[in-house]
Amino acid sequence: MSIRDKKIVVVGAGIGGLAAALALRQRGGDVTVLEQAAAISEVGAGLQISPNGVAVLNALGLADALNAAAVRARAVSLRDYRKPGEVLRLDLDAYAPDLSYCFLHRADLVTLLADAVRACGVPIRLLQQVDSADLNGCATLHMSNGSRMRADLVVGADGLHSRLRSQLNRFDQPFFTGQVAWRATVPNSIDLPAEAQLYMGPGRHLVCYPLRGGRLVNIVAVQERKNWTAEGWHHQDRPENLRAAFADFRGTAGALLEQVSEVNLWGLFRHKVAEHWHGPNAAILGDAAHPTLPFLAQGANMALEDAWVLGDELAGADNLESGLAHYQARRHARAVRVIAAASGNAWKYHLRFPPLRGAAHLALRLAGRVAPARMVGQFDWLYRHDVTQEPAA
């Protein structure tokens, strides 16, 4: 089946939606993007694009734009929240020189994707809120302004609260993980190098890395707590609350926290991977299909992988139905594995019992000295996976 001239509507102009629009347009689709916001603007914070996500952006023709916008990571440094020095250093330059790990502001990635989408002739229509979709026959979107839009295919890239997900799947109640996270950016007045530094403490951890040519530092701070905060990372909080929660974090972490003037707080919730990623004339991707916790920094990367695979499978399928089925078959198991790995990662940084934390950090130090390459390569199954090179389902 050729998707050339098929009318495709992508709902959501975030990373996954824009990448899908670009992938589908490059294969000949007649694509329109709908966005409910008044402007294409991603506020907030940074993100990490690991090699599996970089592979997709490169295949979409965005290598130069990515290199211009991103800081290339040279290492990951694990540290104790109070003690000087490193617990473990994962030297990416030495042990993964062929891979690109990138730090960039979320707004910069959205901008470069939106620019590429528009350059391909894809319209991005703003202030377009979808109320529901009729998927029988030709898909019909019912908009909040009373208008309707028809398409051969609707792609739901509209995030956690996707309307299309709710139509394709029975409602499942997410549950609070007992963790909240703050996000902030501050000036890089401490000359943080091109590396991710992760500070581990009892019931808490903090990650920081540079953005925008090293001018800014992104901060993500996670705390275990019993009371929960509403889902979504746009909720503002007082910087004093963040500093109080991490008051005993010293060194670089403490210096960065002193600079925070604006911060967002969100509760971390677990969601099930959607049972159905597609239906008649419809598909979902990214957080709409498989929301993930941030402990492997894979949310954006998984959305990029989804976007590529959706375009790849539809372009090579005999018909729309089989292409959508192959898309889910190719993506489901990987999404489940990545989400499970991310969900199980946080406790390693939050050990409370001092002797246990000391023993664990000692084990990490020894492993880093004895087998540094093995430590860097422990997630090769994730980072070295390239969906642009894998065979179709």
Q: Point out which residues pair with 141 in neighbouring strands.
A: 133, 149
How far from 80 is each of 204, 215, 239, 242, 254, CA to CA, in Å?
A: 11, 25, 22, 18, 12
Q: Point out which residues pair with 125 in neighbouring strands.
A: 34
User: What is the rounded CA–CA span in Å between residue 29 and residue 312?
Assistant: 12
User: What is the rounded CA–CA span in Å between residue 175 and residue 267?
Assistant: 10
Q: What share of the chain is helix, strand, coil (3-state, %, to 5)?
A: 40, 25, 35
- For residue 246, the 8-state DSSP code is T
Concerning whether 349 is annotated as a catalytic residue, the answer is no
Q: Which helix (H) or strand (E) holds 323?
A: helix 320-343
Contact 237, 220 (CB under 8 A): no
User: What is the rounded CA–CA span in Å between residue 350 and residue 19?
Assistant: 35
User: What is the rounded CA–CA span in Å between residue 28 and residue 21?
Assistant: 11
Q: Is 239 exposed, middle or buried (0-12, 13-18, 19+ CB in 10 A)?
A: middle
Catalytic residue, from 81, 101, 199, 209: name it. Answer: 209
Looking up tokens 């963790």, which residue turns up? 179
| Residues designated as active site | 209
